[in-house]
Amino acid sequence: MKFLRSFTTALLLLGALGTSLSAQAQLRLTRPDGQAVTLSAEQLAALPRETVRAEAHGQTLTVQATPLAAVLRAGGIAPPEKVHGAALRQVLLATAADGYAVSFAWGELDPALGGRQVYLVQNGAGAELKDGEGPLRLVVPADARPARWVRQLQGLTLISPP
């Protein structure tokens, strides 16, 4: 009986540890050549943040968030700058844990062209995301609807069509 109690306790502790580890924020960034880098929760938390205000579903959200350009740079992807020519065909695909995916035209993210501001919100790093939203979420304040506010963000892939 004592063995059974100890075994059950060990299983519960392992389960809790597994849940804790799986909830850690990680973000995989993939370049057009297929090379990928995974940024850990610690690496993401060390990136610069700024206060972001955005409206969604009639509510105002105010959080500390990292500009997408800083995230891309940390993952070895040069953020768009003075995009022209073939680079205008590039697309950034943001993918969630449930398979939901949205895209951003590379030119749209160029401050000198589209100027679209996109931010990464990390649970516990200046923001408290609701259950099912984190540990990572994109926020696009200027979008009329929050359809590209990807919850449970897992990856960013830069695609270069032929």
Three-class SS string for 14-56? HHHHHHHHHCCCCEEEECCCCCEEEECHHHHHCCCCEEEEEEE
Residues 146 and 58: beta-carbon distance below 8 Å: no
Structural domain includes residue 66:
yes
The C-alpha atoms of residue 29 and residue 115 are separated, in whole angstroms, by: 21
Alpha helices in the chain (DSSP H): 2-22, 41-45, 68-74, 106-109
Structural domain includes residue 60:
yes
- pTM for the whole thing? 0.82
C-alpha separations of 85 from 80, 89, 106, 107 in Å:
12, 8, 11, 10
Number of CB atoms found within 10 A of residue 31's CB: 17
The number of CA neighbours under 13 Å toward the Cβ of 131 is 0
Structural domain includes residue 8:
no
Structural domain includes residue 3:
no
| Residue range of the domain that includes 138 | 24-159
Structural domain includes residue 143:
yes
Q: What is the pLDDT along the chain (162 residues), one digit of tens a residue?
A: 454 444 334 334 434 433 333 357 899 999 999 999 999 999 999 999 999 999 888 888 899 999 999 999 999 998 888 888 988 999 999 999 999 999 999 999 999 899 999 999 998 766 788 888 899 999 999 999 999 999 999 999 999 998
Strand order, beta sheet including 50-56: 50-56, 59-67, 119-122, 136-139
Structural domain includes residue 155:
yes
Structural domain includes residue 2:
no
The C-alpha atoms of residue 104 and residue 77 are separated, in whole angstroms, by: 15
Q: What is the pLDDT of residue 131?
A: 84
Number of structural domains in the chain: 1
Structural domain includes residue 1:
no
Alpha helices in 54-157 (DSSP H): 68-74, 106-109
The C-alpha atoms of residue 80 and residue 88 are separated, in whole angstroms, by: 10
Residues 71 and 122: beta-carbon distance below 8 Å: no
CATH number for the domain spanning 94: value is 3.90.420.10
